[in-house]
Structure 1
Amino acid sequence: MTPKLMKKKHTRYFHIILQMMPSECPDAMRLTFAFFAISGLDLLGALDDYLREEKEDAINWIYRLQISGAGPRSGFQSSTMIPKEIETKYHCGHLAMTYTGLASLLILGDDLSGIDKESIIEGMRACQNPDGSFTAMVMGYESDMRFVYCACCVSAILDDWSGINKAKAIDYILKSISYDGAVGQGPGLESHGGSTFCAVASLYLMNELNNVLSEKQLDRLKRWCLMSQDGGFHGRPGKPSDSCYSFWIGATLQLLGVKELSDCEENRAFVLDTQNTIMGGFGKHDNKRTDPLHAYLGLCSLSLIGEPNLQEVNAALNISQRAYTHLLEIQERWKNK
């Protein structure tokens, strides 16, 4: 018998994450872990129950992470270990933190009136490489498909694409398509479920998915994703199913319009088997230790296939549809100013 979703325990799990960051959480991941927990509570419909009195403090904390007016170093940083008042060369925005910071503000109901759009765009523009990829921060960092996706999410949220050279970003994505039809982290690299999602979601957010990929390319991409299912989904051939890929590949299938061709019941059974029925949260596999990333993405994957009593997830931006509707209202007000 397929286990049931332990909604109350997962709600408690995410609340604990916000109250006490896991000891293994590096400072560079603090905002990301906060996003997992805040968005997880949102999908569970428990945001107001657990954060009603703490929302303002959470919003203020996120805004303290914003570095504005710093030219190419602008954006959101991961934590406040170095006080903002002490300006140093180490104060530097990070694309993933800028995305998760903006997304968290939306989920918490903020109107984004405190963001410095021009600075964020300037910082993001400085992170694009000549080949179209993005580094996480202008000070120098690894560059791959993840940060192309983060840049596209930031642009979509701000409703301003002037910080991206779209033609170069699209060229980088196309050059990263592997021989099997899926996408690697960069040109010549192995196809991967996570980078495939980042590439497809980036093209989708740019409104270019069906313009730059041929019908043959789309068919090969759909086939690769569908062939990645063996109960749940694996990220690379020969690897076991992993709960996070039920989102990465499940969301890709939804964006490609063929989610119904996968076996949602098999996927649901796999993901629910990875949940910790005592403490809450999800692990990579059955009986594996839970962590915030798999806890959140496991929940997102269930939302994608219509799990009862979960908020609908927006696959491209990886936030709830409720938060996305709030974003559209904000953007409409921006247009009418």
Structure 2
Amino acid sequence: MQAEDVKAFDRDKAIGYFRRCLEFLPKQYESNDTHRMTLAFYSLSGLDLLGALETEFTQERINNWIDWIYAQQILPDENNPELNERICGFRGSPFSGLPYNPNGVNSDFIIGCRASRLPFDASNLAMTYTALASLLILGDDLSRVDKSAIINAMKFLQKEDGSFTQTYQGMESDMRFVYCACAISYILDDFSGINIDKVVQYIKESQSYDYGIGQGPGEESHGGSTYCAIASLYLLNKLDEGLLSKDKTIFWLISRQESGFQGRANKPPDTCYSFWIGASLMILDSFEFIDYDQNYNFLMETKSPLGGFSKCPGYYPDVMHAYMGVGGLLFMEEPKKLDPALNISFKAKENLLCKSVFKRE
């Protein structure tokens, strides 16, 4: 697979990069503090896919990460009963709420921040998904997750057109949060917080003339939103019903490859689409149609000497593209390591199926 003039992937440098990202991030990440949960997910999942969580960290360290995640869970607030059904889930960091306190001053700390709530402190659908995914990656059984509160809160996030907002009274609603709602429901084994018929219809209406899928009806086809739609339909067991033409969508996906993959027509290739497009093709059982060598060579061009991957050749690496680059490589080299629909390792998914308190029938 590897061209002779292209250096091979350096697993140890990638592990070092994800380890550093768990400890500290460059100043440019300050504006993303409210998304710290997702940034942690990229690093934790990257280390998990590289088989480094158990070998690089002690169980005490892993338990500390688990406790930090649970500290971001927003539970029903006795002082704000009118908001109880709307705000529950996980936030992205302590930025908008109570600070993380490892000593557990609040009596209910062990299961989240119940005792009091600051103004505008509410869960975020994307952070709830990455929090649950990270807990599974870390081997947690989800026993401290308030399932009913999360499922009930999702009902207030779905709009009439079937899409979801990321937070209560939020302004954005598109395919990204449809996926988050479906993934959360799958993990918790409860789809009662979703109007499934409206979701399927929203996805149908978001498919463009070229059979790619946009962020919403009338929007341009995009690799990321196409993945979100396909993965959502898969998790809902609605693939055959939701895709207007599976073959034509596959053709659109395959057409996104130049060397690596582009997210939209007439755009340059970008590392992250080796995952978004690759995972979509994996779900549709069509990954073998890509040019493996071209994709591999492009990823090696975006591989940074600092570890990780950048968006394009010549850029600095970032934690999201580093994770997506590892995912794109695994689809080619070890496809049984990464579940393309839930975007976690099959090992973490097995933890969901066997160890989680939310067990399937």
2: CA distance, partners of 1:56 / 1:132 = 37
Partner SS for 1:210:
helix
Q: CA deviation at 1:177?
A: 0.3
1:255-291, Cα deviation, whole Å (9 max, x unpaired): 11110011112111111211112x1010011121110
Moved over 6 A (4+): none
Q: Which moved more, 1:83-92 or 1:190-199?
A: 83-92
1:288 to 291, 311, 315: 315
CA distance 1:65–1:89, shift in 2 (3 Å)? same
Matched AA of 2:330: S
Residue-by-residue CA offset, 1:40-60 (whole Å, 9 max, x unaligned): 000110011223231011000
TM-score, with structure 1 as normaliser: 0.95
> Are residue 54 (structure 1) and residue 61 (structure 2) matched?
yes
Aligned partners of 2:353 and 2:360 also within 8 Å: no
Query: Which residue does the alignment assign to 2:157?
Result: 127
Q: Give CA-to-partner distance per residue, 1:94-129, whole Å, 9 cap, x none.
A: 000000000000000001000000001011111000
Q: Distance in 2 between matches of 1:319 and 1:269?
A: 24
- 1:28 matched to 2:34? The reply is yes
Q: 1:331: Cα distance to partner?
A: 5.0
> How many angstroms apart in 2 are the aligned matches of 1:144 and 1:335?
29
Cα deviation 1:135-174 (Å, max 9, x = unaligned): 0011223011000000000001001100100000110000
C-alpha distance in structure 2 between counterparts of 1:112 and 1:333, whole Å: 8
Unaligned runs of 5+ in 2: 77-83, 99-112
Which residue does the alignment assign to 1:71?
Answer: 85
Match of 2:351 in 1: 326
1:130–1:231 CA distance, 2 compared to 1 (3 A)? same
CA contact under 8 A between 1:45 and 1:311: conserved in structure 2? Answer: no
Which runs of structure 2 are paired with 1:119-158 in the superposition (5 Å)?
119-158=149-188
Give yes or no for contact 1:268–1:302 (8 Å, CA) kept in 2: yes
Which deviates further from its counterpart, 24-33 or 313-322? 24-33
CA distance in 2, matches of 1:18, 1:252: 28
In structure 2, how many angstroms separate the alpha carbons of the residues matched to 1:2 and 1:146? 35
Query: Which structure 1 residue ranges, 5 or more long, are not aligned?
Result: none
CA distance in 1, matches of 2:14, 2:242: 40
**Alignment deviations for residues 11-32 of structure 1 (CA, whole Å, 9 cap, x no partner):** 0000000011332222111111
Kept in 1: contact 2:42–2:320 (CA 8 A): yes
Equivalent pairs: percent with the same residue?
46
SS of 1:241 mapped into structure 2: coil
Q: Is the CA contact 1:92–1:139 (under 8 Å) kept in the aligned structure 2? A: no
Q: In the alignment, does 2:222 pair up with 1:192?
A: yes
Q: Distance in 2 between matches of 1:295 and 1:7?
A: 12
What does residue range 94-173 of structure 1 map to in structure 2 within 5 Å?
94-173=124-203
Q: Structure 1 residues 167 and 141, CA, compared in 2 at 3 Å: closer, same or farther?
A: same
Shift of 1:311: 7.2
Deviation at 1:335, TM superposition (A): 5.3
Q: Partners in 2 of 1:253 and 1:227 — Cα distance?
A: 12
Letter in 1 for 2:248: R
For residue 49 of structure 1, what is the amino acid of its counterpart?
A: T
* Residues 1:302 and 2:329 aligned together: yes
Distance 1:225 1:96 in 2: 25
Q: What SS does the corresponding residue of 1:54 show, helix, strand or coil?
A: helix
Contact 2:182 2:232 in 1 (8 A): yes
Over 3 Å counting, the alpha-carbon distance change for 1:332 and 1:119 in structure 2 is: closer
Aligned residue number for residue 316 of structure 1? 341
Structure 2 length as normaliser, TM-score?
0.89
Q: C-alpha displacement at 1:219, in angstroms?
A: 1.1
Equivalent pairs counted in the alignment come to: 331
How many angstroms does 1:332 deviate by? 7.5
1:4 equivalent in structure 2: 8
